[in-house]
Amino acid sequence: MRSQYLVALLPLAAFAHSFPSPHKVKEELSAPPRGWMIHSPAPVDHFIQLRIALPQPNFHLLEEHLYAVSDPEHERYGEHLSKEEVEELVAPHPESVNAIDEWLASHGIEGNIGHSPAGDWLTIRIPLSKAEEMLNTKYHVWQHTDGEYLVRTTFYSLPAAVYDHVDLIQPTTLFGRFKPQNSSLTSPIHVENLPTLVDRATGLTVNASCNTEMTITCLREIYNATGYTPSADVGNSIGVTGYLENYANTADLQRLYEDQVPAAAAVNSTFKFISVNGGVNSQNLSRASIEANLDTQFAFGLSFPIASTFYSTRGQPPFVPSLNAPTDTNEPYSEWLDFVLSHPDPPLVISTSYSDAEETVPESYARRACAGFAQLGAQGVTLIVSSGDFGVGDGDSNPATQTCMSNDETNRTQFIPGFPASCPFVTTVGGTVFFNPEISASFTGGGFSRFFSRPRYTSSLLSRISLPSFLSYQDAAVKGFLDQLPNSTYEGLFNPDGRAFPDVSAQSASFRMFLRGEVTHQIGTSASAPAFAGLVALLNDARLKAGLPPLGFLNPLLYSKAASGFNDITLGHNPGCGTDGFNATEGWDAVSGLGTPDFGKLLKLVT
């Protein structure tokens, strides 16, 4: 297969170096991500929507503010920034704005240019031929081994006059597909010979049925949230993101409420729908989606009656050559970030259950998307993402069949972290199964980023503000885990200095939900993420009632003051890439993170 990739790339590489123009290569892939091959030339009448990211020269200042307002020991804890303050901190330099405007004008592009709220992203819709001229490149239709298609290139260039005024341009080298992290089960998991009751420190018990079928009641019992009643009138809110035409059905939500949250059913509770970039949410029952239904039913079911929002972001599923679609954007994260950052009051907790292999996402794109998440965190928004469902890479422990190879000419075996789970500005949630004991799910994603180092302050920051309690806040937790790893087993498989994930975990199997009018059961970190988000919304409820600000960016709090509010998970592992993956151990580990929440303990710690 590798030789086929090289053969497919030869004409493209030759074409790339035949240009006599003064352009300089801005980004180039040494090889396409695994599984992709050139299918055909891109259609001559194809249109593309290019997104141009301008540098954010003061992003380091935003990061400083984010950490200051997120440290529970800092004097500014909870003093979140306004939308306008965030925009001022990430705005591009006027020189960059002028340089890009002149470049676009030189190509006849002066109107119909979209601008992000801070002006750090520009959007233009142009013929593909114009994009190839501007970027000195050649697009092709690429086909994946599973049959999907994208219109992409493996390199692009920029004139010297604008080279330093652009961080990245997409869609160019982004082959990511951002898939939902769930799988269907025809029936719940049945387990024999497990204890029927859990005796928590609180004295609560858990119904034995929760070992085979997960419900809203089970989650409240397992995580010690039984009896807590949130309010609808304290300004609290929770949101769920939807991509790739995944639709959340309100009739199915009502069935879940009738089944598990009768108080919500009694008032016919539903969510607010917000369309992003023309996204829709079809209520045709036959088009109801597993992912969107799972996310909304459990995030909103756990947090009722807190105000809830479902976002549907338009972004074409993979390109279909036979349809000759006029545009092929397919990068909804940026579209959603642009939209939500343009509004002054986004939901206080937002859950996302879509991810992809980090190596399929250009590092430049991953960093800019992650910077967008930081902007939301600085405004007091908690971002929850799923850790992924393929263990440390492909979920395959068999060395003979594993597919975790580096995406370069070395073709070496390595673990494959997921994105956006690897972004340091989100809280990443892994999965568990059963209780007494609660065990890490074998599929749960976990590991170490190759793009992002573990969070730590810069020396320039330390000269400006007092030393925070969470300086390098992950290091202490992660170092203990790394110290006990057998070096010979893991050498070269992961980046030991990378941002470590997951941060926490929650139940992730046999979730009883409704799809197209019928009961079904789901498994995956797509279940654990919205469940944890629902519990965070309950904590925000308590803080708002007490006159305190919302929790916002959680990680500095989790690794310090709130660490004692989690149940340590010490059983399980996440195989993949021909290995058994990492093992759950005492303390933080790259399978379960800090563990699963004890809402009762966390409630006392944050109020």
According to DSSP H, which parts of 186-246 are helical?
Answer: 216-222
The DSSP element (H or E) to which 10 belongs, if any, is helix 2-16
Which has the closest alpha carbon to 130: 196, 44, 195? 44
Contact 350, 382 (CB under 8 A): yes
Strand order in the sheet with 36-41: 36-41, 140-144, 149-152
Cα 258 to Cα 530: distance, rounded to the nearest angstrom: 19
Instruction: To the nearest 10°, report the CA torsion of 319, 325, 327, 330.
Output: -20
Residue 308, CB-side half-sphere exposure with 13 Å CA sphere: 28
Q: How many of the other CB atoms lie within 10 Å of CB of 100?
A: 19
587 belongs to an annotated ligand binding site: yes
Cα 330 to Cα 52: distance, rounded to the nearest angstrom: 15
Query: What letters, b where the CB count within 10 A reaches 16 and e where it falls short, cover 206-215?
Result: beeebbbbbb
Q: Hey, what amino acid is at 407?
A: N
According to DSSP H, which parts of 304-362 are helical?
Answer: 332-341
Q: Which residues have C-beta within 8 Å of that of residue 603, sequence separation ≥ 6? A: 228, 539, 542
Contact 56, 92 (CB under 8 A): yes
- Catalytic site positions: 291, 295, 526
Q: Residue for token digits 């006392």?
A: 604
Q: How many of the other CB atoms lie within 10 Å of CB of 410?
A: 10
568 belongs to an annotated ligand binding site: yes
Encoded tokens for 146: 């599973």
Which has the closest alpha carbon to 447: 585, 591, 310, 332? 591
Contact 63, 378 (CB under 8 A): no
Q: Residue for token digits 């279909």?
A: 320
DSSP state of 210: G
Helix (H, G, I), strand (E, B) or coil at 376: helix
Cα 347 to Cα 380: distance, rounded to the nearest angstrom: 9
Encoded tokens for 313: 């972001």
DSSP state of 44: T
Annotated binding-site members: 568-569, 587, 589
Residue ranges of the binding site for Ca(2+):
568-569, 587, 589
